[in-house]
Structures are given as structure tokens and as C-alpha cells.
Amino acid sequence: MPVTPFGVLLRGAMEHRGPLCVGLDPHRALVESWGLDYCLAGVERFALTCVEALSGQVAVVKPQSAFFEVFGSGGVRLLERVLADLRDAGTLTILDVKRGDIGSTMQAYADAYLGTDSPLRADAITLSPFLGYGSLRPALDLAEQTGRGLFVLALTSNSEGPQVQHAELGGRSVAATVVDGVTADNAAAAVRGELGSVGLVVGATVGDAVQRLGIDLGAANSPVLAPGLGAQGATAADLRRVFGAALPQVLASSSREVLSAGPDVAALRAAATATAYQLREVLAP
């Protein structure tokens, strides 16, 4: 039975609910700011409150796997529940795992997060291409088969990123070669007039790097996950300056800016919908 590609689902969710991805990041300071103990039970209360507030309200929820893994098997079981509950509610998920490896190990990561029957399956995952874009092929192939998506790191917002991402390889920056690979993998979707299912991660705080490195995000036909909104310093207006003509492809990510409105479900939901509305105005073509 044919599957609907992730890019098509994402485009519909962004148009219907606004171009906002809320990061579900239960780190210690945020959990404790809700008056909860930083333990598995506290993180469970935090995470399930977020699921209740955000399901059906935003385009995408992005759980950060590390904040669940830190609690061992119990944390992983909770992550499985969060993904299942969001899936049952019809809300798209991006699991932030930033995996990147080679050969059979990369295939195992792909099976774990993109396989149809895996309890850890998400609608999309983040990947690191810095062992070479071609090393991601097992995940790229499986995502295409299962209708899932990928977001590949290209220009990240951390200060160390440029040491690798801006470095030149044969006259092209490493980041630009990553975008070249994504562009090729999204070519068939472009022919069909659809948004590609292989996305890019480009920080909202990277300044003029996209233009300076000669990167054409529009031609990549990719969704662009843009972290850095709010607590990391980027404003909605910064998105217009960073992404230019690729604005309709941008899915802005915010975590602390939205989640600090908890633990009240209604207040959390209101913060998310207000942020999504603001982004819709800024990112409108």
C-alpha cells in the first residue's frame, strides 16, 4: 500500500497549524521550574503534560532523546509512550537523536527509529552527516520506503559548528556539500511538486552564513528545521533575515520559550498557539 511521504504530511501540518515545532526537552532546570522533582516520575509528569497540551495544536513536537535516555530503560519506555501518544493524537514527531554512523550500525539506527514496527519509531529523526553524507544511505533508503522524514545537520547554531561546517572541500563548504546531497535526494519530490522528505537543520542564529557560503536552500526543496528561536537568542524577525526566499520551507523550533508557560495545560497550549500565529505572520510568503 502506498505511503504518504513525510514532506507532504509536514506541509499540510504547517499550513493548518502554523510553522512551529515545539521541542520536548525535559532537562533538569525546566522540570524543576514546574515545581517537579527531577526524577523519572517528575519527567513523566512533565512529558505527558506537554503531550496533552500540544497534541493537535502545533505542527510538530520534537522530543529530545537524551533527556529520556538519562533515566535508563524507564526513560526509554517513557519516550516510547510519548511517541505513541502523539502518533495516536495525529501530531507529527521529530525525534532528536542526531545519529550518524556507517554500514550495519547506521542500518540498525535506521531500523530503530524509522522501522514500521519499532516501538521507538517517529515520523522523522535528526541525523549527523559528518562521517560523509553517503554514510546516511541506510536511513535515507528506509525513510523513503516507510514514508518517514529525516533532518540532516547542515549549519548548526553552536559556536563550534563552523570549524567543520564552514571548512572547504574542493572549493565548497562542508555544509554546502550536505545541502547538495539533500537536494539530490529531494529531486523526485520536486518533480511531483511536493516538499521533500529529507530536511535540513539550519540554526536561526547563523547570521549570514547561508548566503556567504553560497547555499541555495530553496533549490534543496527541503523542510528546514530552524532551532534557536526564543531562549537561544533568535527572534521571529531573524528568521526572515537568515532564510530569505526559503521562508515557506522553514519549521521554526522553540522549546524553553513555550514550555516555560507550564505546568498549566491551558497556559502551555496558549503559549504554543500564540507562537505559531506569530511565526505564520513572519514566515508568510
The neighbour count for residue 3, using CB atoms within 10 Å, is: 13
Residue 63's H or E segment, with its range, is: strand 60-63
The neighbour count for residue 240, using CB atoms within 10 Å, is: 13
What integer pLDDT is reported at residue 237 of this predicted model?
Answer: 75
What integer pLDDT is reported at residue 276 of this predicted model?
Answer: 93
Domains detected in the chain: 6-283 (3.20.20.70)
d(CA 22, CA 59): 9
> Per-residue DSSP letters for 106-155?
HHHHHHHHH-TT-TT--SEEEE--TT-GGGGHHHHHHHHHHT-EEEEEEE
d(CA 265, CA 31): 15
d(CA 278, CA 231): 16
Residues with active-site annotation: 98
Specify the pairing of strand 20-24 against strand 60-63.
parallel
Indicate the burial class of 82 (C-beta count within 10 angstroms; 0-12, 13-18, 19 or more): buried
d(CA 92, CA 16): 12
d(CA 171, CA 164): 14
What integer pLDDT is reported at residue 46 of this predicted model?
Answer: 98
Q: Could you tell me the three cell numbers for 85?
A: 501518544
Among the listed residues 283, 272, 285, 273, the one whose alpha carbon sits nearest the alpha carbon of residue 237: 283
Question: pLDDT by residue (tens digit) across 127-158?
Answer: 999 999 999 999 999 999 999 999 999 999 89
d(CA 21, CA 225): 8
Answer yes or no: are the C-beta atoms of 272 and 265 closer than 8 Å: no
What integer pLDDT is reported at residue 284 of this predicted model?
Answer: 73
| DSSP helix, strand, coil percent of the chain (3-state; round to 5) | 50, 15, 30
Question: pLDDT by residue (tens digit) across 111-125?
Answer: 999 999 999 999 999
What integer pLDDT is reported at residue 250 of this predicted model?
Answer: 95
Share of the chain above pLDDT 90, in %: 88
What's CA 71's distance to the chain center, in Å? Answer: 22
Q: Could you tell me the three cell numbers for 62?
A: 520534537
What integer pLDDT is reported at residue 285 of this predicted model?
Answer: 65
d(CA 285, CA 281): 9
Answer yes or no: are the C-beta atoms of 187 and 222 closer than 8 Å: no
Q: Which residue(s) pair with 92 in the sheet?
A: 60
What integer pLDDT is reported at residue 233 of this predicted model?
Answer: 73
What integer pLDDT is reported at residue 231 of this predicted model?
Answer: 64
| DSSP letter, residue 234 | B
Residues 6+ apart with CB under 8 A from 210: 155, 202, 217, 242, 243, 244
pLDDT beneath 50, residues of the chain:
none
